Chain A
């Protein structure tokens, strides 16, 4: 019989034989919890009173998991879990290194913060049509994107978060929302499609989809040509996802249209997934190609940070100001990728975390400001210094933080990046970082001067915070986020230690690769021979 001629099957050649440690399960828990609670929210979608409680429970559990995962990675190093026990590179592996775990942690924080804020913002119609399922699915997608070690699987999570965000974007069906959502969806689909094409190329070139495996094979590849072009295609796709200039069209077209809680979670998470993917692809997987693309990345970075800040200056709608600041921040994150040095990457890691928290907080702030002032129009808002002094404190903290002024969290990563630029003689990049900080200061302080200092417009009445429903939960949430930026500004040491470790891991992808192959020493040589 044919069966007799087959080679003997040893499961140890195909499976991870040891059960994963209990703590390792944390790596998949955000996905499990996210999907279960999204399903629960969907089942209770008409019970608009109980559904939010379920959603918040889910968000809290996700946060607990990512906190646990972060601590686990911090203490024990990179965590790997093979899905279906298939040995890497044959199945899908989830890998949490310091970068992934940190971004997952902050996503958990941002998700819970916006979820709580939305309790008072999303109305019953929006709840009934999936606000919380969208939110939970999107958050799971984002966190899994940070944790997957498989490039096609990354594409799947991009789809999950794209669709989830699309749902959040159109909830409400107002004309401007649909206009924004159309541009958002089409341009993002282009980016996602290019990403998919690049994945197909990678499979064609390397015959594998596991990131560690690709990295291993790419490192020993002789022909530079197709690999460099593929890396460039990835760069294009993810730069578009990250809304880096000149591929940022979709962001200013859409981010100001949905609820502020939605804008907040978008600003906090979505573009950062693009940045994460760039770091992963160009540092862990194709480090040699990053060197070749460095100058182009630096140009994109400088252009994004400057044009983002300039764009913010031109806006009179507070929400649009923030949209452009997101783009400016992306430029700053890319600066570290362009530099590729330990200081630069540490700055990028720190800045990414900082930006996620602060941009989320700024959107929530503008939500309260808009509700209290009765408008998002900078020409008409005013008078909040008198009616909402604590909100003014929050606004000042966030304004200076996003501008990179001390003593808040934006300062240190910018110092790192300026120093790293000067270290390699890229004075123009250092200048771009400083000038963009300068322009950002003008844009955001102008917003503060108008909305807070200036007396209210004669036909507007600014409400006190007690009269603004979103402020009741919004202010404590904002206070928490502000607390983070203040602590990271005053005592940055632990944050810098984590950032330094992220930078080290990114610059030494061997650690990542070894962690993935750790459970199967035999497989490292290619088990099937």
Chain B
């Protein structure tokens, strides 16, 4: 079997065994489980040489041939880098979770969810087929939902989980529409084929629709302003989740999608306007909100939002260098942000708090963690000799130009980067340096499982910059080429070259340094201004949900109000409207029927019917009305007889008699008020509806009567009723032979009806439904449709 195929499912299999392994091995199960992503990492690393030479590996198996959907993968520079990040960081995260969740009663469940997420994320980036991509995309939302809600007893966790699912899951549905648009526009449903259809897509009249739908998916997943709010809330999840899903991998799925589709959707005015605008706004909002925070994880979370904004902005900027910068920054960000989150987790785990204002002087207790933190902070700040520096230089090369748009974007980037520098150092330095602060727990160095990850990632930040040639050759250049859709070569190294980029870097660092020392004041200012605004999309989300529920309650109460008269009235009004509408559309009305030629006794019978009906309508009490209805029924029976249907007539007599008797009996027992209490207006309304329905049905009948009747069946029955079915009475033969099955079914109906009546009469209601308790007060239908 193809190992790549196996790699798709290996984490799922590992996930299935995680709870058992944890029960057997305790937290050391992480060592075993981490083997799976580690092996996957090794497997995909094997593709590096091939991809570095510009190769593209595709493969797959048939999955749903009836719908042209294959289980197919595409390994190029872009997906390979992602796959390596996912499995590589995934390995470290599994180990980290082994330490972080040690002794937690649900550690097995946690590792299971993490591994399921890993499988989903990996499937997402490797998918070639749209629908496979979509399946994995939604799976990441679902697993993220489970992980954010892991501390399910806390209301905040549940809310955050719901919120993340609503935003990203909803975005996924928009994306689905976008993918179907792309499919319909190009006729292909695989990325590898789609990449060659860029011009077709861009010239299509549906381009803008497809673009907006795709962006709907990408922006929600990658937390772009104003839909960014779910990501900081997702910090309710245990820290390994924050490090893995909500910084290094899942939130980059949107960016991945944009990069994947850049050769197809990019290079248009819409793309190069919308992306930088939203990305830039997200960058600024993210950094400003990060400054406001004192919780280490929230500070990092908002810079993640900002970084995602930066990536979107660069992807949409449109120059090759900007794409190169985006690629470098994406890798750098995964490394340093993953590490910093784990550092924050270590601090929280060991010191018992992650409020930056309540931390300080941990250096002595946690030197290794500090080491990882400071190295990562350097990378985040864009200082040499770290990969973050390479990224920032390349970014400035990519966007710096003298036209107003570039100046604007560059300014945004400088402000954002400077603030990110501030936060990076605030997270990495403040808890460790300075005077020792009393913390809830007395801090020790975290165990090996928990510092291995951050240290390794920090070291990689350094190594990627030091050996930038290798890094570019195998990782960044192939990835940038895949994003650009044309071969690109990245050459940037840690040796600073004088030029515009270096100048801007120095400006950034200078601004950052100034702001860092004024952080406390900056934070207070941000807090004050946020308070002045007093509203954010997060509250907006609550208002949206509340509004939705309220709207639902109002709508449901209005329509499903529990009043039988309303239901009946609505049904018949709709019936009349629907039938008249159809006749109107068809444009066929019955011709005026010829005046009937009837004999005198037929006229008499018809007038009895009319009198009976008038009596029903005018009857003062219900009993009279029922009897009058009976008169009308008897008259109809007489008509049947006159027209040569004695069987029918006899049946009608029976039915009418029984109906009147039973109804009269029921009336006397029910002690209903004998009068009809409807107001005059109500009576007129009801009468109108009744007449409208009657007229509509009569019109159809008249139309039918104006077509000649097909007597095939009648002739057949006449011919064979005696000769083959051995019965002289054709009606009886029809009932018991020609259409015997009908009669058989009706016998069943009678039996069931009898049984139902027996049950109605005999069963004395109990207060409760045995095992399934009923509401204590039996609530007839319009019960409180509650408030959320």
Q: Which of A207, A415, A446, A528 contacts B162 (CB 8 A)?
A: A446
B525 close to chain A: CB less than 8 A:
no
Q: Is A526 in contact with B723, judged by CB distance below 8 angstroms?
A: no
- Total A-B residue pairs with C-beta atoms closer than 8 Å? 365
CB distance from A453 to the nearest CB of B (A): 4
CB-based nearest B residue for A436: B173
Q: How many angstroms between the C-alpha atoms of A204 and B703 in the bound complex?
A: 10
Q: Is A130 in contact with B582, judged by CB distance below 8 angstroms?
A: no
- Known contacts: A90-B738, A253-B781. The answer to whether A6 contacts B723 by CB under 8 A is yes
A419 close to chain B: CB less than 8 A:
yes
- Known contacts: A134-B755, A172-B765, A175-B780. The answer to whether A226 contacts B568 by CB under 8 A is no
Q: Is A310 in contact with B552, judged by CB distance below 8 angstroms?
A: yes
- Known contacts: A246-B559, A253-B781, A315-B785. The answer to whether A92 contacts B739 by CB under 8 A is yes
CB distance from B264 to the nearest CB of A (A): 18
Q: Is A15 in contact with B713, judged by CB distance below 8 angstroms?
A: no
CB-based nearest B residue for A182: B564
CB-based nearest B residue for A492: B64
Q: Is B63 in contact with A493, judged by CB distance below 8 angstroms?
A: yes
Residues on A with C-beta less than 8 A from B142 are 400, 405
- Known contacts: A307-B555, A405-B142, A418-B180. The answer to whether A156 contacts B742 by CB under 8 A is yes
A497 close to chain B: CB less than 8 A:
yes
- Give the size category of A's interface with B: 35 or more
Residues on A with C-beta less than 8 A from B152 are 385, 449, 452-454
Instruction: Name the segment of B289-297, B360-368, B403-411, B766-774 touching the other chain.
Output: B766-774
Q: How many angstroms between the C-alpha atoms of A232 and B764 in the bound complex?
A: 43
Q: Is A197 in contact with B553, judged by CB distance below 8 angstroms?
A: no
Q: How many angstroms between the C-alpha atoms of A92 and B146 in the bound complex?
A: 55
Q: Which of B63, B552, B579, B586 contacts A224 (CB 8 A)?
A: B586
B498 close to chain A: CB less than 8 A:
no
Residues on A with C-beta less than 8 A from B586 are 224-225, 228-229, 292
Q: How many angstroms between the C-alpha atoms of A188 and B152 in the bound complex?
A: 43
Q: Which of A137, A207, A416, A442 contacts B166 (CB 8 A)?
A: A442
Q: How many angstroms between the C-alpha atoms of A94 and B784 in the bound complex?
A: 46
- Known contacts: A232-B579, A405-B169, A492-B64. The answer to whether A252 contacts B574 by CB under 8 A is no
- Known contacts: A15-B724, A314-B552, A314-B785. The answer to whether A228 contacts B582 by CB under 8 A is yes
CB distance from A321 to the nearest CB of B (A): 11
B682 close to chain A: CB less than 8 A:
no
Q: Which of A9, A229, A370, A419 contacts B700 (CB 8 A)?
A: A229
Q: How many angstroms between the C-alpha atoms of A217 and B779 in the bound complex?
A: 51
CB distance from B721 to the nearest CB of A (A): 10
Could you tell me how many residues of chain B have their Cβ less than 8 Å away from some Cβ of chain A?
122
Instruction: Name the segment of A47-55, A62-70, A163-171, A274-282 touching the other chain.
Output: A163-171
CB-based nearest A residue for B146: A396
Q: How many angstroms between the C-alpha atoms of A452 and B139 in the bound complex?
A: 20
B174 close to chain A: CB less than 8 A:
yes
Q: Mark A402-414, 1 if CB is under 8 A from B, else 0.
A: 0001110001100
Q: How many angstroms between the C-alpha atoms of A367 and B184 in the bound complex?
A: 43
B644 close to chain A: CB less than 8 A:
no
CB distance from A399 to the nearest CB of B (A): 10
B470 close to chain A: CB less than 8 A:
no
A268 close to chain B: CB less than 8 A:
no
A152 close to chain B: CB less than 8 A:
yes
Q: Mark B697-708, 1 if CB is under 8 A from A, else 0.
A: 101110111010
Q: Is A310 in contact with B555, judged by CB distance below 8 angstroms?
A: yes
Q: Which of B571, B715, B752 contacts A190 (CB 8 A)?
A: B571
Q: Is B713 in contact with A449, judged by CB distance below 8 angstroms?
A: no
- Known contacts: A315-B785, A434-B173. The answer to whether A197 contacts B697 by CB under 8 A is yes
- Known contacts: A207-B711, A246-B570, A253-B781. The answer to whether A14 contacts B549 by CB under 8 A is no
Q: Is A167 in contact with B756, judged by CB distance below 8 angstroms?
A: yes
B672 close to chain A: CB less than 8 A:
no
Residues on B with C-beta less than 8 A from A179 are 780-781
A259 close to chain B: CB less than 8 A:
yes
Contacts A316-B786, A453-B149 known; list 15 others, CB within 8 Å.
Answer: A173-B763, A175-B778, A187-B567, A187-B571, A194-B575, A225-B586, A226-B704, A310-B552, A379-B786, A406-B139, A446-B162, A452-B152, A454-B153, A470-B772, A492-B64
A residues in contact (CB < 8 Å) with B: 6-7, 9, 11, 14-15, 35, 38, 42, 83-84, 86, 89-92, 120-121, 123, 125-126, 129-130, 133-134, 137, 140-141, 144, 152-153, 156-157, 159-160, 163-164, 166-167, 170-177, 179-180, 182-183, 186-187, 190, 194, 197, 201, 204-209, 217, 223-226, 228-230, 232-233, 236, 240, 246-247, 249-250, 252-253, 259-260, 292-293, 307, 310-317, 324, 367, 370-371, 374-379, 385, 389, 396, 400, 405-407, 411-412, 415-416, 418-419, 422-423, 427, 430-431, 434-435, 437-439, 441-442, 445-446, 449, 452-455, 468-470, 491-493, 496-497, 500, 526-528
B residues in contact (CB < 8 Å) with A: 63-67, 109, 131, 134-135, 138-139, 142, 145-146, 149, 152-153, 155, 158, 161-162, 165-166, 169-170, 173-174, 176-177, 180-181, 183-184, 209, 545, 548-549, 551-553, 555-557, 559-560, 562, 564, 567-568, 570-571, 574-575, 578-579, 582-583, 585-589, 697, 699-701, 703-705, 707, 709-717, 719-720, 723-724, 737-742, 744-746, 748-749, 751-753, 755-756, 758-760, 762-766, 769-775, 778-781, 783-786
